[in-house]
Amino acid sequence: MKSGLLSLLACPICKYYPLQLKIFKWETDSDKFNQLESIIAEKNTEQLNKDIQIKVSKIENEIRVKDNISRSEKPISDYLKGLNNIYDDILAIEDNSNTKSNEILDLIKKELFNKIIEYKNEKNIKDLTKIFEQIKFNIHLLNWYLFYAEIEEGIMICEKCNRWFPIIETIPQMLPDEIRKEKPEKEFLKKWKDNIKEEVLLEAIPFNLENYVICPQCGHSFETVEGGEIICPNCNYIFNR
Ligand SMILES: [Zn+2]
Ligand SMILES: [Zn+2]
């Protein structure tokens, strides 16, 4: 899944928007993210354009932009206004993948995006042409991050109804509760438990790890509803929850 898809997704159950997106693993090669450092330092727009293209044209001195964010060709002034609408979506993305990518996301959130929307109310066509030259690289990088880089595994969380939805092998799985499969989904939560907030692990619906315990002796994890003393089925160690 591309993180830009977040702008098009609402919770399928309660319709809340935007969902919170937590990225655990990228399918995009980590080398690609590592290379961004020098691409950013050089503002190398052409290099980014090889991965994902942005169409820029000029009609009667007015710059027009078509990219994956606008989806149709728009005069630059309208384009910048439209970008303002995706800011909340970008803030809803959290990168827990331990690659260079979280530094890139941080840079987009804290610097690059602000630089773009600074000009959202600018109307002077001549000034906008100049401004576009200054922010062109930022727009390219934003497109690259949102619509080129592919998430392999992660989750989306609805803050309203407390549901979580997995992204598995790049596919967001947004099924109704009754056809979701408890066992593999709990396995998925266990696999990524170190990347998921405790309140989600223990309280999110439709499945969570509320009843899972880890044996302090052998590290075996298992599900039990018992309170008080628990016997590890693996090593017979007795411990309290
Ligand atoms: Zn919801
Ligand atoms: Zn044990």
* Residues within 5 Å of ion ligand 1, judged at the Cβ atom: 11, 13-14, 16, 158, 160-161
Quick check: ipTM above 0.85?
A: no
- Kindly report, residue by residue over 75-112, the tens digit of the pLDDT: 998 998 888 888 889 999 999 998 889 999 999 998 88
Is residue 135 one of the residues assigned to a domain?
Answer: yes
Q: Range of 96's domain?
A: 28-149
- Kindly report, residue by residue over 182-235, the tens digit of the pLDDT: 999 999 999 999 899 989 999 999 999 999 888 999 988 888 888 889 999 999
Tell me how far the alpha carbon of residue 88 lies from the centroid of ligand 1, in angstroms. 17
- Kindly report, residue by residue over 53-85, the tens digit of the pLDDT: 999 999 888 999 999 999 999 999 899 888 888
Is residue 2 one of the residues assigned to a domain?
Answer: no
Number of structural domains found in the chain: 1
Is residue 239 one of the residues assigned to a domain?
Answer: no
Neighbouring residues of 20: CB distance < 8 A, sequence distance ≥ 6: 92, 94, 156, 157, 158, 159
Is residue 168 one of the residues assigned to a domain?
Answer: no
Is residue 228 one of the residues assigned to a domain?
Answer: no
Q: 116, 90 in Cβ contact below 8 A?
A: no
Is residue 166 one of the residues assigned to a domain?
Answer: no
Tell me how far the alpha carbon of residue 240 lies from the centroid of ligand 2, in angstroms. 12
Is residue 46 one of the residues assigned to a domain?
Answer: yes
Q: Which ligand is nearest to the CA of 216?
A: 2
Is residue 220 one of the residues assigned to a domain?
Answer: no
Token output for 22: 């937590």
